[in-house]
Amino acid sequence: MDARGSDDGPSADATAGSLPLLVVARWFPAVDGIARGRYVADQLEALVAAGGVDPIVASFQFVQLRGGNGARRRQRRALQDTALLRQCAEGPRMADGLAQRGCTSASAIPVARIPVPREPVACRIPGGEGDDHRDALLRFVGRLGEWRTSAGPGVVHAHTGYPDGFAAGAAADRLNWPLVITEHASFVASQLAEPEERRRYVAGIQRAARVIAVSQTLARLLRQEVPELGDRLEVIPNAVPVHDFRLAAAGERDGDELLYVGSLKEAKGVPLLLRALALARGERPRLRLRLVGRAPSRAQDRELHALAGELGLTDCVRFDGQLDRAAVAEAMAKAALFVHPSRYETFGVVAAEALASGLPVVATDSGGVTEIIGPEPLVHGDVVREHEPEALSRAILRTLERRTQFDEAALRRWVETRYSAAGVAATLLALYSDVLADAGAAATSARRPISRAPRAQPRVVIGFHRAEAADALEPLPPGLLAELILVTSAEPSEVALPSGLGDAIEIDLDGPYRGERDGAAAAREAARTRYAEARERHREAQERYHATQAAYQARAGADPVVVAAYREAREGYRAAREVLAASPAARPAGGKGLERLHRTAQRRSVRHAQLRLLAAQQAIGSALVSLGAAGRPPSVVCLGGFDYLAVEPGARAGQLLVAPAGTRWMADLWASREGVLGYDRP
C-alpha cells in the first residue's frame, strides 16, 4: 500500500477485481487521537495489503450544538445547508474525486470525516445519537455516485453495533449491499440496558449478515444479551501488525521500568496502577513507571498528576502523552514489564503489541486481555484476579523477579500465530465472500478507480467558542497550525490559544449586547428620573387643586378670582396626572414576581443570542472578504454549531466556502499534501 499520501488514488491494477468496501467507524485514527481506533486501521491496511478490497472509510467528527432548543435547531439546519451549498459551489468538480466529498487521508485509503451534530448532555434523548449518525452517513453515501454506480456489489463493514452499525444498516439498504458488524465496545451492556438504544442496536444487528466479536469474552456477552444473533455471530480478533514492533537488543531493556500505554482514565485502571507502584517501591525503590497516552480531559490529567504527587511518585512517574506507533514500539523495546490494569476490555490490542515486542504482561482480569495472555498466564506474564493495589503490586514484583526466565521470541510467536494481520485479513476476505454469496452477488470485475483530486488547503478556522477552539487546534502539527487564521471570541481572555498559531481574529461577541444593555439601563434610569419629576409635579398640582377647590366650595363660585384659580389648578392637576400615567415606569409589568422575572430573563437571553450571532456574522463578513485569492472566496473550517450558523449568510452570498468537515479532515488533507507517512501525527 502507498503510504506516501499520493493524491492519485489506487491504480487501475490495484482496484481491478477488488471488492468495494465501505467501512463505517467513528473510532479511527486522527490528528487528535492517533491511537483511537488504530485496530480498525490495522485491519483495513491488512485487507488492502492482501489485495482484496477497494475501501472508503466513513468516520465521524462531532459538531457541538449550544443554546436553547430554537438555537440548536437552527444550528442543525445550518450544518446541513452549508454542506449542500458546498456541493453546489464545487459544481462539476464533484466528479473529480472524493476530496471534494470530504475524503482525505495521509495514506492511500480515502477517509471521510463526516460532521455529526451533538446535543448538550442535558438535552440528549435516547436513540438520538444513532439517528444523527444515520442521517449524516446517508447524506454522504448519496454523494458517492461515481464510486457506487461504477462498482459492483460490495460490503458495508461497521465497527461497533451502535451507533455505527445502526447507521451502516441504513447505508447498506441504500446501496443494497450486505452488512457486517464488528463489535469492539466495552460499554455494550450499558447500551443494551437503555430500551431505545437497545431497539436501535438490535435493528442494526438484524440487518447484518454477520456479526463479529473480537474476543470470546465479548461473544459470550452478546449471545446472552442479544439472542437475536443466532448463528450469525463469529469471533475474529483484532489484527496485530507484528512487523511494526521489534524484540529488544541485548542490554537494551531497563530492568526497573514499567510501561503502560492507553487512555489515562480511571476505567483503564491508571489510579490503581499508581497506587500499586507506590506499594511496590517499598520493596524495589528504583522502580519507575512510564505512562504513554493522555487523559480524556485536562481536569482528569491534573487529577492524575496530583495523585502521583500525593503518593510520592512525582520523580518516578513519567507522563509521556500521546506517542506515535514507532515511539510506542521503542518504549516497548526498552521496558522490563508491561502493566495493563483495566477492569474490562473486549480485546486489549496494546497487550498483544507488548507481547509482540517480547515484553511480558501483568494484567488485571479484564476478559479480552486475559484471553490474549492465554490459559497459562505465567508463561506470558501474570493475571491478577483482584482489582486491588496490593494484589497488582505483588504480581508486578513476582514477575520482575523471574524476568530473565521469559523467552521473548516465544512471546512474539504467540502473537504471530493468533493475531497476525495477514491471518485476520484472510479470514475477513473469506467472510466477505460468504456474505456476498449468501446475498446472491459476486465480487466486482475491473472498473474505473477513484481519483482524489488535490484541493486548496483551508487557512481559516471559525471557532467562536474559545475553549473549544483551543482544544481543537492544540493537537495540530506545527506546520499546519502556522498556516491557520482562527476567528474566535475575545472572551474568556484567560483561555490561551495554541502557541504557533498563524494568526487570530478575536471578536467581542458580547459588545453589542453590552452596549444595548447599557443603553437600555441609561434609558431606564432617565425614565425613572422623569417619572420622579412627574410625580413631584403631580403632587404639587394636586395640593394646589385641593386648596383652590376648598376655597371655591366655600365661596360657592361667587368670587371670579377664586373661580379662575380653581379652574387653573384643576387643569394643571389633570395635565400632571396624564403625564404621570404616560410615564413607562407607571405601566403595568404584565405579570408578577418570579413569572415576570423569568419572562424578562428569557427575553434578554434571546436578544443576547441574536446580537452575538449578528456580531459574528458581521465580523466574518468584514474579516474574510480580504482573504480570497484570485477572486476565489476563502475556504473555512467550522468547529461548532454556532460557527456553521455564523457563516451561513456568507456562504449563501458566495463570500466564503465551507469546508466539508472539521479539523480532522483538515489535518488529513495537510498530511496528504506534505507526504506524511501513515495515520500517525507528524
Q: Is the Cβ–Cβ distance between 250 and 228 less than 8 Å?
A: no
pLDDT band at 82 (very low <50, low <70, confident <90, very high): confident
Which has more pLDDT, 361 or 530?
A: 361
Q: Is the Cβ–Cβ distance between 412 and 240 less than 8 Å?
A: no
Query: Does pLDDT of 680 surpass 60?
Result: no
Collapse the DSSP code of 18 into the 3-class scheme (helix H, G, I; strand E, B; otherwise coil) and give the result. coil
Cα-Cα-Cα-Cα dihedral sign, residues 41, 126, 133, 169: positive
Query: Does pLDDT of 652 surpass 60?
Result: yes
Query: Does pLDDT of 84 surpass 70?
Result: no
The mean pLDDT of the chain is 85
C-alpha–C-alpha distance, residues 181 and 207, integer Å: 10
Specify which of 381-390, 437-446, 606-615 reaches the highest per-range mean pLDDT. Answer: 381-390
pLDDT tens for each residue of 246-263: 999 999 999 999 999 999
- 336 and 484 share a domain? no
In a domain, 293, yes or no: yes
Collapse the DSSP code of 319 into the 3-class scheme (helix H, G, I; strand E, B; otherwise coil) and give the result. strand
pLDDT band at 95 (very low <50, low <70, confident <90, very high): very low
| Residue 178 CA: distances (Å) to CA of 155, 163, 505, 544, 550 | 5, 18, 49, 95, 101
Which has more pLDDT, 442 or 56?
A: 56
So what's the pLDDT on residue 151?
A: 57
So what's the pLDDT on residue 625?
A: 62
So what's the pLDDT on residue 463?
A: 95
Query: Does pLDDT of 396 surpass 70?
Result: yes
In a domain, 129, yes or no: yes
- Burial of residue 90 (CB within 10 Å: 0-12, 13-18, 19+) is middle
Collapse the DSSP code of 204 into the 3-class scheme (helix H, G, I; strand E, B; otherwise coil) and give the result. helix
Q: To which H or E segment does residue 598 belong? A: helix 593-624
CATH number of the domain to which 48 belongs: 3.40.50.2000
So what's the pLDDT on residue 447?
A: 41
C-alpha–C-alpha distance, residues 655 and 27, integer Å: 34
In a domain, 575, yes or no: yes
Cα-Cα-Cα-Cα dihedral sign, residues 409, 412, 417, 420: negative
Cα-Cα-Cα-Cα dihedral sign, residues 93, 97, 101, 103: negative
- 401 and 487 share a domain? no
Pick from 143, 146, 225, 230: nearest CA to 190: 225
Query: Does pLDDT of 442 surpass 90?
Result: no
So what's the pLDDT on residue 179?
A: 97
- 154 and 33 share a domain? yes
- 203 and 318 share a domain? no
Question: What mean pLDDT is predicted for residues 447-460?
Answer: 57
Query: Does pLDDT of 5 surpass 60?
Result: no
- 291 and 351 share a domain? yes
- 298 and 374 share a domain? yes
All 3 cell numbers of residue 208? 447484518
Pick from 9-13, 480-484, 608-612: least confident: 9-13
pLDDT band at 445 (very low <50, low <70, confident <90, very high): very low
Percent helix, strand and coil across the chain, each to the nearest 5 = 55, 15, 30
Q: What is the dihedral of CA 243, 246, 247, 250, to 10 degrees?
A: 140
C-alpha–C-alpha distance, residues 522 and 193, integer Å: 56
- 272 and 399 share a domain? yes
Query: Does pLDDT of 566 surpass 70?
Result: yes
State the residue range of the domain holding 276.
245-416
- 396 and 370 share a domain? yes
What is the percentage of the chain residues whose pLDDT exceeds 70? Answer: 84
In a domain, 674, yes or no: no
What is the percentage of the chain residues whose pLDDT exceeds 90? Answer: 57
So what's the pLDDT on residue 93?
A: 33
Pick from 370, 451, 589: nearest CA to 146: 451
Question: What mean pLDDT is predicted for residues 150-170?
Answer: 90
Which has more pLDDT, 557 or 362?
A: 362
pLDDT band at 590 (very low <50, low <70, confident <90, very high): low
pLDDT tens for each residue of 30-66: 888 888 899 999 999 999 999 889 899 999 999 999 9
Collapse the DSSP code of 539 into the 3-class scheme (helix H, G, I; strand E, B; otherwise coil) and give the result. helix
pLDDT band at 558 (very low <50, low <70, confident <90, very high): low
- 350 and 382 share a domain? yes
Question: What mean pLDDT is predicted for residues 535-557?
Answer: 75
Question: What mean pLDDT is predicted for residues 215-242?
Answer: 94
Region at 67 (left for phi over 0; alpha for psi -120 to 50; beta for the rest) = left
Phi, psi of 421 (to 5 degrees): -60, -40
In a domain, 450, yes or no: no
So what's the pLDDT on residue 555?
A: 64
Pick from 389-398, 500-509, 608-617: least confident: 608-617
- 150 and 231 share a domain? yes
In a domain, 447, yes or no: no
Determine how many CB atoms are found less than 10 A away from the CB of residue 47.
28
pLDDT band at 280 (very low <50, low <70, confident <90, very high): very high
pLDDT band at 511 (very low <50, low <70, confident <90, very high): confident
Question: What mean pLDDT is predicted for residues 156-162?
Answer: 97
Which has more pLDDT, 544 or 381?
A: 381
C-alpha–C-alpha distance, residues 18 and 21, integer Å: 9
pLDDT tens for each residue of 325-355: 999 999 999 999 999 999 999 999 999 999 9
Secondary structure E strands in 269-378: 288-292, 317-321, 337-340, 361-364
In a domain, 309, yes or no: yes
So what's the pLDDT on residue 455?
A: 57
Total structural domains within the chain: 4
In a domain, 210, yes or no: yes
Query: Does pLDDT of 454 surpass 70?
Result: no
- 557 and 502 share a domain? no
pLDDT tens for each residue of 69-78: 999 999 999 9
Q: Is the Cβ–Cβ distance between 644 and 63 less than 8 Å?
A: yes
Pick from 25, 155, 40: nearest CA to 433: 155
- 276 and 149 share a domain? no
Q: To which H or E segment does residue 633 belong? A: none
